[in-house]
Amino acid sequence: MTTLRLWRLFHRPGRRDAAGRTATLATVAFAAAAAIFLTVLGGVHAFIRRASPDRTLGCLLDERACAPGALEAWLHRLADPHDPAQYAATYVLFAAFACVLLVVPFVALAGSAARLAASRRDQRLAALRLAGATRAQVTALTALDAAGQALTGALIGIVGYVVLMPAIMLLNFQNEPFTAAQLWVGVPALLATVAGVTVLALVSALAALRRVAITPLGVAARQTRPLPARWRALVFVTVLGVAVFALANMQLFAGLSDAMVYVVLFAMFALPFALVNLVGAWVVAARARAKARRPKDAATMLAMRRILDDPKRAWRNVSGIALAVFVAGITSATGGIAAMAAPEGTAADDPMLVFTRDIGTGGLLTLAFAGVLAAVSCGVMQAGSVIEQADEYRMLMLEGTDARTLDRARFVEVLTPLATVVVVAGACSLLLMWPLFAQLMTQPGSIVMFVGGVAACFALVMVGALAANRVAAGISVTGLRRDD
Amino acid sequence: MTNVTNTANLAHTGAAPAPRPAAAYHPAGAAPILAAEGLTMDYAAGLAQARRGHAPTGTMPAATMPDALQPLALDHVDFQLAAGETVAVMGPSGSGKSTLLHALAGIITPTAGAVRFRGADLAAMPDAERAKLRRTAFGFVFQSGQLLPELPAVENIALPLMLAGAGYRQATDTATLWLERFGLRALAGQRPGEMSGGQMQRVAIARALAVQPAVVFADEPTGALDQTTGREVMGILMEAARGTGAAVVVVTHDPNVAAFCGRTIRLRDGRLDSDGPGPAPTQGGAR
pLDDT in tens, A117-163: 666 566 666 677 677 777 777 778 877 888 888 899 999 999 999 99
What average pLDDT does this structure show over B114-137? 91
Q: Determine contact: A218 vs chain B, CB below 8 A.
A: no
Would you tell me how many other CB atoms lie within 10 Å of the CB of residue B173? 14
Q: Which residues of A touch B40 (CB under 8 A)?
A: none
Q: Least CB-CB distance to A483: which of B99, B158, B162?
A: B99
Would you tell me how many other CB atoms lie within 10 Å of the CB of residue B254? 21
Q: Least CB-CB distance to B94: which of A223, A392, A484?
A: A484
CA distance A412 to A434: 32
What residues of chain A, 356 to 395, have a C-beta less than 8 Å from chain B? 391-392, 395
Query: Residue A309 in 3-state DSSP?
Result: helix
CA distance B28 to A215: 54
Q: Least CB-CB distance to A405: which of B50, B140, B163?
A: B163
Q: Which residues of B touch A478 (CB under 8 A)?
A: 56
What residues of chain B, 163 to 182, have a C-beta less than 8 Å from chain A? 163, 168-169
Task: Work out the pLDDT band at B88, boundaries 50, 70, 90.
Answer: very high
Would you tell me how many other CB atoms lie within 10 Å of the CB of residue B29? 6
Q: Least CB-CB distance to B50: which of A308, A401, A479?
A: A479
CB B84 within 8 A of CB B246: yes
The ipTM assigned to this model is: 0.77
Q: What's the one-letter identity of residue A314? A: A
pTM above 0.80, yes or no: no
Would you tell me how many other CB atoms lie within 10 Å of the CB of residue B31? 11
CA distance B165 to B163: 5
CB A160 within 8 A of CB A31: yes
Res. B14: pLDDT tops 50: no
Q: Least CB-CB distance to B150: which of A294, A295, A306?
A: A306
Which residues in A35-52 are b (16+ Cβ under 10 Å) and which e? bbbbbbbbbbbbbbbbbb
Which residues in A233-269 are b (16+ Cβ under 10 Å) and which e? eeebeeebeebeeebeeeeeeeeeeeeeeeeeeeebb
CA distance A207 to A230: 25
CB B259 within 8 A of CB B279: yes
Res. B18: pLDDT tops 60: no
Q: Pick the residue from chain A with its C-alpha nearest to B204.
A: A399
Q: B94, A294: Cβ pair inside 8 Å?
A: no
Q: Least CB-CB distance to B155: which of A305, A400, A402?
A: A305
Q: Least CB-CB distance to A301: which of B97, B138, B155?
A: B155
Would you tell me how many other CB atoms lie within 10 Å of the CB of residue A112? 27
CB B163 within 8 A of CB B135: yes
Query: Residue A173 in 3-state DSSP?
Result: strand
Specify the pLDDT at position A183.
Answer: 93
Would you tell me how many other CB atoms lie within 10 Å of the CB of residue A162? 17
The DSSP secondary structure of A1-45, one letter per residue, reads --HHHHHHHTT-TT--SHHHHHHHHHHHHHHHHHHHHHHHHHHHH
Q: Which residues of B touch A410 (CB under 8 A)?
A: none
Query: How far is residue B192 from each of residues A289, B43, B150, B202, B243, measured CA to CA in Å?
Result: 19, 33, 8, 11, 26
Give pairs for B122-126: CB < 8 Å, separation 24+: B123/B1, B123/B2, B123/B3, B123/B59, B124/B2
The distance of A482 to chain B (nearest Cα, Å) reads 8
Q: Which residues of A touch B145 (CB under 8 A)?
A: 391-392, 395
Kindly calculate the radius of gyration of chain A based on its CA atoms and give it in whole angstroms: 25
**DSSP conformation class of A443:** S
3-state SS, chain B, equals CCHHHHHHHHHHCCCCCCCCCCCCCCCCCCCEEEEEEEEEECHHHHHHHHHHHCCCCCCCCCCCCCCCCCCCCEEEEEEEEECCCEEEEECCCCCCHHHHHHHHCCCCCCCEEEEEECCEEHHHCCHHHHHHHHHHCEEEECCCCCCCCCCCHHHHHHHHHHHCCCCHHHHHHHHHHHHHHCCCHHHCCCCHHHCCHHHHHHHHHHHHHHCCCCEEEEECCCCCCCHHHHHHHHHHHHHHHHHHCCEEEEECCCHHHHCCCCEEEEEECCEEEEEEECCCCCCCCCC
Closest CA relative to residue A154, chosen from A197, A114, A121: A197
Q: A479, B148: Cβ pair inside 8 Å?
A: no
Q: A391, B131: Cβ pair inside 8 Å?
A: no
Which residues in B198-220 are b (16+ Cβ under 10 Å) and which e? bbbbbbbbbbbbbbebbbbbbbb
For residue A460, the Cα-to-chain-centroid distance in whole angstroms is: 13
Q: Determine contact: A16 vs chain B, CB below 8 A.
A: no
The distance of A402 to chain B (nearest Cα, Å) reads 6
The distance of A226 to chain B (nearest Cα, Å) reads 13
Q: Determine contact: B150 vs chain A, CB below 8 A.
A: yes
Asked which of A232-246, B13-27, B219-233 is least confident by mean pLDDT, the reply is: B13-27
Q: Determine contact: A90 vs chain B, CB below 8 A.
A: no
Give the start-to-end residue ranges of the domains of chain A: 1-223, 229-477
Q: B159, A224: Cβ pair inside 8 Å?
A: no
* Sign of the Cα pseudo-torsion (B150, B152, B157, B160, in order): negative
Q: What's the one-letter identity of residue B237? A: L
Task: Work out the pLDDT band at B25, boundaries 50, 70, 90.
Answer: low
Q: Which residues of B touch A302 (CB under 8 A)?
A: 148, 150-151, 159
Q: How many CB pairs under 8 A join A and B?
A: 97
The distance of B121 to chain A (nearest Cα, Å) reads 17
Q: A478, B134: Cβ pair inside 8 Å?
A: no
Please list the alpha-helical segments (H only) found in A294-443: 298-309, 311-340, 351-388, 390-398, 403-441
| Bridge-based pairing state of the strands B263-268 and B271-277 | antiparallel
* Sign of the Cα pseudo-torsion (B47, B51, B54, B60, in order): negative
Query: How far is residue B74 from each of residues B48, B57, B63, B170, B260, measured CA to CA in Å?
Result: 17, 16, 12, 41, 25
Please list the alpha-helical segments (H only) found in A294-341: 298-309, 311-340
Q: Which residues of B touch A218 (CB under 8 A)?
A: none
Would you tell me how many other CB atoms lie within 10 Å of the CB of residue B145? 15
CA distance B195 to B184: 11
Task: Work out the pLDDT band at B286, boundaries 50, 70, 90.
Answer: very low
Q: A484, B133: Cβ pair inside 8 Å?
A: no
Q: Determine contact: A398 vs chain B, CB below 8 A.
A: yes
Specify the pLDDT at position A290.
Answer: 95
CB A302 within 8 A of CB A330: no
Q: Which residues of B touch A391 (CB under 8 A)?
A: 145
φ, ψ at B97 (rounded to 5°)? -60, -55
Query: How far is residue A483 from each of residues A263, B100, B222, B234, measured CA to CA in Å?
Result: 65, 9, 17, 22
CB A371 within 8 A of CB A325: no
The distance of B129 to chain A (nearest Cα, Å) reads 9
Beta bridge partners of B271: B268
Closest CA relative to residue B82, chosen from B210, B278, B208, B245: B245
3-state SS, A252-277, equals HHCCCCHHHHHHHHHHHHHHHHHHHH
Q: Determine contact: B231 vs chain A, CB below 8 A.
A: no
CA distance B223 to B1: 36
Closest CA relative to residue B166, chosen from A348, A306, A301: A301
**Angle of helix A351-388 relative to helix A88-118, nearest 10 degrees?**
0
Q: B159, A481: Cβ pair inside 8 Å?
A: no
Query: Residue A93 in 3-state DSSP?
Result: helix
What residues of chain A, 402 to 441, have a C-beta less than 8 Å from chain B? 402, 405
Beta bridge partners of A262: none
CA distance A385 to A404: 18
Closest CA relative to residue B32, chosen from B102, B87, B72: B87
The distance of A370 to chain B (nearest Cα, Å) reads 32
Q: Least CB-CB distance to B150: which of A305, A405, A478?
A: A305
Q: Pick the residue from chain B with its C-alpha nearest to A405.
A: B163
Q: Least CB-CB distance to B107: which of A295, A309, A398?
A: A398
Q: B135, A484: Cβ pair inside 8 Å?
A: no
Q: A483, B93: Cβ pair inside 8 Å?
A: no
Q: B56, A477: Cβ pair inside 8 Å?
A: yes
Specify the pLDDT at position A211.
Answer: 58
CB B117 within 8 A of CB B34: yes
φ, ψ at B138 (rounded to 5°)? -115, 150
Q: Pick the residue from chain B with its C-alpha nearest to A404.
A: B128
**Rounded to 5°, angle at Cα A481 from A478 and A482:** 115
Q: Which residues of B touch A413 (CB under 8 A)?
A: none
Q: Which residues of A touch B155 (CB under 8 A)?
A: 301, 305
Specify the pLDDT at position A27.
Answer: 87
The distance of B134 to chain A (nearest Cα, Å) reads 5
First-to-last C-alpha distance (Å) of chain A: 34
CB B78 within 8 A of CB B39: yes
Sheet of strand B215-219: strand arrangement: B138-141, B215-219, B247-251, B86-90, B263-268, B271-277
Chain B contact probe: residue of A388, A399, A402 with most B CBs at under 10 A: A399
Residue spans of chain A under pLDDT 50:
218-223, 478-484
Res. B112: pLDDT tops 50: yes
Q: Which residues of B touch A401 (CB under 8 A)?
A: 131, 135, 163
